[in-house]
Chain A
């Protein structure tokens, strides 16, 4: 628990120094301290205390863990208070609380992954990936149509938001730096990251209604909604990456007489390409799991639809939602498909995340700084 950080080491060193310096005769040079194994010892005792009601009273494991945690949180500071004084006791309490918070945060993540894998894995099969839901009543069927829909919708969203986002970032960094417009744009882009996804969906609907009349549903509408959510992320990440490009590179290019736009496209962008790609992929991963806007504007269908510009288009998140909320009769098969699709979606999104980070790491420019 008490693994010393660099600060901790320094603290210890300074403690010792301070103790040496203070040579008043009535004050002991070193305050008594708990042995280094104290937290471990208390932890073992706390676990024992927690195990007691589980064994004796037949409590569930959750209750036992809670009792153990409380026992630890009380015992260690009390002991420390007796031996080391209140200040150290507070510090120990704070440390324990921090790590408890970490443990609490892990609970949902682990249980969620456990649930999704456990419930979703049995659903996976060859048919699951190659079949749509057309003509499927009850058992069987698959997510092919939703998978295709998600790819098409997010591809279009990326096609809209990447050029806009990257160009806007170029404007902010290369052209508008410090100008009033640029400051306003930066601020509003930040605000825009907070637009609720359902509002983006309603926006796309309200926009498309003007052209196609009430009740419009199409995959491209979903792309527009997702693009609204994506653009701010792309702008922010691209902006950060462009700022990292050393000015010397630009200056060298200008010195050779290269025009500014050529400098940007041939020097600045390639240098920061890895970072930009990472940012774009993270943005794609973020919107690929969005449900609400697609529920509103892309709708749901059970057949494959390759045309983003007409008719409803199923997507994975919406498929999960409907499969679970309207599972059909009997409900087991729909539920199972929902969990299977959730597993596929999580794998897709987390895979994108990991690949994006790997790209950022491996292809990072060697700037020599």
Chain B
């Protein structure tokens, strides 16, 4: 076979593959690469399909095996708990993470910014089961007096009715917040760093203080990125299992009382606690709840990526 000629690739455009001649090696390799790409799609579809396959028997399961009147009644309090815990976590994590990202991108001196970034990445590297250990043995007893104070002084609010208990959903949410923080921080700091320097310098030249500069140039530029980052953090908090399973004192109720011993459980924690001893149709019930969790996190992540993609186009880059 004669050697192919190099394509006349324009400097900016991606390299166009030498077509013309088909070599068997090329065909095989391209096929393999393509197959690997498609395999990912298949795997994602497989997750949905297999969960549905094993989850469907739960719909018709007898109520005494489910432990509730029907599967909806079973899953709903869990879904409520999942959403509540994740929302609380994000309420704590989002402002903190954005501030942290700003420290790294705009406040810290260059020499400090990189080690700070590493520190935050270290937070992300801590396994969730260790967060669980820390949460149940260290955090829960430490926050108890704070909760007690809340009950005594703000007990008239439905959130702080009490009686105070360290292993409440608020504690679990705090742990979730710590776990979601590195993700939000990492994405935000990348986006903040991409803000055009010209915009920032223009703002400063007009006499803006640093905070005004951030408010006027950085935030508008990275709004969609920040939203997407927060939603990705939400996705993480929704699906986080072990920390909640270990920390939370779950009763399975629907309540907004955040600091008592009576808490809603979350889907993921409920699966982790129940699965090792589940048998028969109970397994299907748990898998069904897992399917619900999958759908919820998929939607949240999907929207987050969509917002990010849209924002990227709007930014004109």
Which stretch, A43-51, A100-108, A128-136, touches the partner chain B? Answer: A100-108
Interface membership of A140, Cβ < 8 A: no
Supposing A231-B40, A292-B272 touch, asked if A116 and B300 sit within 8 A by C-beta, the answer is no
> Which A residues, 1 to 33, have Cβ-Cβ distances below 8 Å to chain B?
3-8, 10-11, 14-15, 18
Give the chain A neighbours of B242 by CB distance below 8 A. 291-292, 295, 317, 321
Supposing A116-B130, A203-B47, A254-B4 touch, asked if A353 and B294 sit within 8 A by C-beta, the answer is no
Q: Which residue of A lies closest to B49 (CB)?
A: A206
Tell me if B's interface is mostly helix, strand, loop or mixed: helix
Interface membership of A261, Cβ < 8 A: yes
Supposing A115-B138, A198-B272, A291-B242 touch, asked if A260 and B47 sit within 8 A by C-beta, the answer is no
Q: Which residue of B lies closest to A100 (CB)?
A: B99
> Which A residues, 306 to 362, have Cβ-Cβ distances below 8 Å to chain B?
317, 320-321, 324-325, 338-339, 342, 345-346, 349-350, 353, 357
Supposing A90-B211, A101-B103 touch, asked if A202 and B268 sit within 8 A by C-beta, the answer is no
Supposing A105-B96, A199-B290, A262-B25 touch, asked if A214 and B138 sit within 8 A by C-beta, the answer is no
Interface membership of B246, Cβ < 8 A: yes
Interface membership of A255, Cβ < 8 A: yes
Contact size class for B? 35 or more
Contact size class for A? 35 or more
Q: How far is the CA of A321 from the CA of B14 in the complex (A)?
A: 49
Q: What is B's interface to A at a CB cutoff of 8 Å?
A: 3-4, 6-7, 9, 11, 14-15, 17-18, 23, 25-26, 28-30, 32-41, 43-44, 46-47, 50-51, 53-54, 95-96, 99-100, 102-103, 106-110, 116, 118-123, 125-134, 136-138, 178, 181, 200-201, 204-205, 207, 209-214, 232, 235-236, 238-242, 246, 268, 271-272, 275-276, 279-280, 283, 286-287, 290, 293-294, 297-298, 300-302, 304-305, 309
A/B interface sample: 24 pairs, CB < 8 A: A3-B109, A5-B106, A10-B204, A11-B213, A95-B107, A97-B99, A108-B123, A109-B119, A111-B138, A112-B126, A112-B131, A165-B36, A171-B30, A174-B33, A177-B14, A181-B37, A206-B287, A210-B50, A260-B17, A261-B30, A289-B129, A289-B130, A342-B130, A349-B127
Q: What is A's interface to B at a CB cutoff of 8 Å?
A: 3-8, 10-11, 14-15, 18, 87-88, 90-91, 93-95, 97-99, 101-102, 104-106, 108-109, 111-112, 115-116, 119, 163-168, 170-172, 174-178, 181-182, 184-185, 187-200, 202-203, 205-207, 209-210, 214-215, 228, 231-232, 235, 247, 250-251, 254-257, 259-262, 264-265, 285-286, 288-292, 295-296, 299-300, 317, 320-321, 324-325, 338-339, 342, 345-346, 349-350, 353, 357
